[in-house]
């Protein structure tokens, strides 16, 4: 078999395995969704139930809560692999680690980021987001959760060797989340005001591509350090 053929086969096997694992551990993928639903529903109670106040705040609220939901799910990304030795097998595999990490994180995004984007229209109704902004909200979350998950993977890879890496993970990852949050929330805000949001979405798309290309490199370096400790 050609080198590309065997690489495709190996990477496909990793993608299938990660999707199976996430599917069998459903609570891990449901957790961010429940978090988004519950925390968003607290805002009308805690801030104000007035529709115009909610409409003003909702782009920011949805984006901040979705961002925290992503952060919540990243900590477990490499935890079980580290504990049961699957990570060592992954690191020593004869194929380039980059592609295996790319699809491993991709599986994570498909089962956390995409469901968050799909759930967001309901949250938008709950928080009285103007209906013309809903399409932009879904697109911005679908594009924006990928960089969130990939950046989270770098932090998770760096902290997986520590028993209590949760706080450190937030400290590493949150500053890197800020640009994604700014452009994501701004896209929705502009759409809610009836202004074009294509520029912001384009920048989110650029983050999306960049994180696909670069984050697996950083994560593979970080995993090697974590396993070495």
Partner 1 sequence: MNCQPIELTKGKTLNHPLLQVDNFHCERDDRILFRGVSFALDHGEILQVVGHNGCGKTTLLRSLCGLSSYAVGDVHWRGKSLAEAVSDFRREVLFHGHLPGVKALLTPRENLTWFVDVYCLGVGDIEAALAEVGLFGYEDVPCGSLSAGQLRRVALAKLLLSPATLWVLDEPFTAIDVHGIAMLQSLLQHHLAKGGAVLLTSHQAIDVPEVRSLNLEMFK
- Interface residues with partner 1 (CB under 8 A) are 1, 6, 9-10, 12-14, 16-17, 20-21, 24-25, 80, 83-86, 88-89, 91-95, 100, 227-228
φ, ψ of residue 216 to 5 degrees: the values are: -60, -30
Comparison of 142 and 158: residue with beta carbon closer to partner 1: 158
Comparison of 4 and 46: residue with beta carbon closer to partner 1: 4
Comparison of 55 and 91: residue with beta carbon closer to partner 1: 91
What string of H, E and C letters represents the secondary structure of 168-225? HHHHHHHHHHHHHHHHHHHHHHHHHCCCCCHHHHHHHHHHHHHHHHHHHHHHHHHHHH
Comparison of 100 and 189: residue with beta carbon closer to partner 1: 100
Contact in structure between 127 and 43 (CB atoms under 8 Å): yes
CA dist., res. 18 & res. 190, Å (int): 37
Provide the minimum distance between the beta carbon of 164 and partner 1 in the complex, in angstroms, as a whole number: 21
Give the orientation angle of helix 26-46 with respect to helix 97-126, to 10 degrees. 30
Provide the minimum distance between the beta carbon of 176 and partner 1 in the complex, in angstroms, as a whole number: 27
Provide the minimum distance between the beta carbon of 145 and partner 1 in the complex, in angstroms, as a whole number: 24
Provide the minimum distance between the beta carbon of 89 and partner 1 in the complex, in angstroms, as a whole number: 4
């Amino acid at each position: 078999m050609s080198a590309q053929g065997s690489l495709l086969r190996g990477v496909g096997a990793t993608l299938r395995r990660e999707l199976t694992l996430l599917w069998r551990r459903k609570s891990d993928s449901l957790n961010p969704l429940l978090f988004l639903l519950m925390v968003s529903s607290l805002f009308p109670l805690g801030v104000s139930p007035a529709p115009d106040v909610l409409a003003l705040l909702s782009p920011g609220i949805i984006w901040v809560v979705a961002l925290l939901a992503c952060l919540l799910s990243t900590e477990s990304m490499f935890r079980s692999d580290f504990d049961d030795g699957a990570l060592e097998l992954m690191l020593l595999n004869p194929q380039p680690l980059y592609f295996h990490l790319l699809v491993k994180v991709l599986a994570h995004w498909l089962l956390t980021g995409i469901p968050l984007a799909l759930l967001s229209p309901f949250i938008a109704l709950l928080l009285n987001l103007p209906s013309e902004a809903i399409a932009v909200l879904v697109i911005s979350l679908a594009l924006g959760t990928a960089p969130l998950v990939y950046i989270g993977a770098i932090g998770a890879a760096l902290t997986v060797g520590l028993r209590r890496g949760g706080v450190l993970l937030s400290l590493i990852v949150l500053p890197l989340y800020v640009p994604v949050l700014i452009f994501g929330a701004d896209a929705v805000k502009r759409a809610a005001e009836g202004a074009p949001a294509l520029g912001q979405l384009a920048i989110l798309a650029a983050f999306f591509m960049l994180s696909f290309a670069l984050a697996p490199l950083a994560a593979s370096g970080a995993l090697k350090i974590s396993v070495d400790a």
